[in-house]
Amino acid sequence: MRPLIVANWKCNPSTFAEAKKLFIAIDKGAKGKKAAVVICPPFVFIPGLSALRGSFLKLGAQDAFPEEGAFTGQVSIRMLKQFGCEYAIIGHSEKRALGETNEIINKKIKACLDNAIIPIFCIGESGKERKEGKTGEVLERQLELGLKGISKFRIQNSKLIIVYEPIWAISKGKDWNACDAGKARQADVLIRKIIAKLYGKLAGDNVRIIYGGSVNPDNALEFIEKAKMDGLLSGAASLDAKKFIAILSKF
């Protein structure tokens, strides 16, 4: 399967001129590579980048609000779709840290599926939870509540992407630690087991799971080959065209 490489630009870069430069450099470097690439810029850059987009890079948002109307500061799924967004990152730990609950995440995932936007659903434990041996419990709760009320048929037939992103492995975190391919592999197996328990073996076997957390050109291949992940979510490295293209060139 083609690995899926997602660039999460977070709240970067500061100007549209820089965003455009980065996007064009990635577009050029990504052509002809095996990986499928999704760029998730800040909302305000989406229309401008959408106009520049060829057929190779896909666009995603870093969030997607399920409703329209009196919701100050939100951007709806329909608004995003107009500008060619096909994906949305939902439940990133940095959003959860700002108060996003499993219930809100669940509403957003459902709305994405209803509107044919592919949710890139982030789950992962904190360093403290891992030390306390709670990784399995945390992942199970996040999956169960995040996917609550979504039918087996829907899960089996959707292109849902789950991201295993341990909070302790995200770059610039205060209790940072490297996540190796072995730990990522264990998480992949665990997530498939939980999905199988919730939705049956077929769904557990087929769901796409990618890894996020300090992905760089040196570790990218291990997460795909040894950890058997279906792709990667890259933050810091995706802001550096050379590094990001070096990651894509590994496949």
Cα 211 to the chain's mean position, in Å?
8
Binding residue for ligand PGA (CB under 6 A) from 235, 241, 244, 250?
235
Give the residue with the Cβ less far from ligand PGA, 41 or 212. 212
C-alpha distances (whole Å) from 163 to each of 19, 79, 105, 143 are 24, 24, 14, 11
Question: Which residue in this structure is represented by tokens 């796409």?
Answer: 208
224, 8 contact by CB (below 8 A): no
- 101 binds ligand PGA, rule: CB under 6 A: no
Binding residue for ligand PGA (CB under 6 A) from 106, 158, 219, 234?
234
- 124 binds ligand PGA, rule: CB under 6 A: no
Binders of ligand PGA among residues 4 to 43 (CB under 6 A) are 8
137 catalytic, yes or no?
Answer: no
Q: Of the listed pieces 27-35, 74-82, 123-131, 229-237, which binds ligand PGA according to CB under 6 A?
A: 229-237
Spatial neighbors of 17 by CB under 8 A, at least 6 apart, are: none
Q: Of the listed pieces 103-111, 147-155, 218-226, 230-238, which binds ligand PGA according to CB under 6 A?
A: 230-238
Q: Of the listed pieces 25-33, 49-57, 112-120, 213-221, which binds ligand PGA according to CB under 6 A?
A: 213-221
State the nearest-atom distance from the C-beta of 236 to ligand PGA, in Å.
3
Q: Nearest residue to ligand PGA, using CB?
A: 235
CA angle 147-187-145, nearest 5°?
20
CA angle 170-194-219, nearest 5°?
30
Give the residue with the Cβ less far from ligand PGA, 203 or 224. 224
What would the 3-class secondary structure string for 71-102 be? Answer: CCCCCEHHHHHHCCEEEEEECCHHHHCCCCCH
- Strand partners for 61: 88
Catalytic residue among 67, 92, 103, 225: 92
Catalytic residues: 92, 165
Give residues in contact with ligand PGA (CB under 6 A).
Answer: 8, 165, 170-171, 212-215, 233-237
